[in-house]
């Protein structure tokens, strides 16, 4: 029993890890050259609401309509164009803190919650 058994002998139809790695790299290069997928573009265009913001919206009785979400999306794009990272968006009778890069509403306040409030850790404000 001096014969060595190697992986190739035990599993002759399994490609070597080196060949698999080369395949992964070539597939990634093809995917990268094709540009972003539709799903990526779709997800990037959406304004998200964090769990915390969702709870605050519900507690304060704030309902965001599709037209308002469009305005918020436009405000986020304007803030991003100016290099903003965390922005205060004031619209109608509410205010929101938004993470511009991820297009996520972090928290939301109604008019009564905004009164006598200090907003910190923001670098911009957009008034709609």
pLDDT in tens, 46-60: 899 999 999 999 999
- Ranked by mean pLDDT, the top range of 5-9, 18-22, 34-38, 61-65 is 61-65
Q: The CATH number of the domain where 59 resides is what?
A: 3.30.2310
Tally helices (H) and strands (E) across the chain. 6, 5
| pLDDT value of residue 17 | 52
Does residue 90 share a domain with residue 31? Answer: no
* Confidence (pTM): 0.66
Is 1 a member of any domain? no
List the domain range (segments joined by +) for residue 17: 7-39
Tell me how far CA of residue 94 lies from CA of 40, 66, 84, 106, 112, in angstroms: 30, 15, 20, 13, 9
């Amino acid at each position: 029993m001096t014969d060595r058994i190697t992986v190739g002998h035990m599993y002759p139809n399994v490609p070597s890890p080196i060949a698999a790695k080369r395949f992964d790299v070539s597939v990634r290069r093809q995917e990268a050259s094709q540009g972003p997928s539709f799903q990526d573009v779709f997800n990037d265009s959406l304004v998200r609401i964090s769990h915390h913001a969702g709870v605050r919206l519900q507690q304060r009785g704030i309902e965001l309509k599709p037209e308002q979400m469009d305005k918020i999306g436009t405000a986020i794009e304007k803030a991003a164009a100016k290099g903003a990272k965390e922005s205060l968006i004031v619209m109608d009778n509410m205010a929101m803190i938004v993470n511009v890069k991820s297009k996520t509403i972090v928290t939301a306040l109604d008019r009564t919650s905004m009164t006598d409030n200090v907003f910190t850790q923001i670098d911009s404000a957009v008034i709609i």
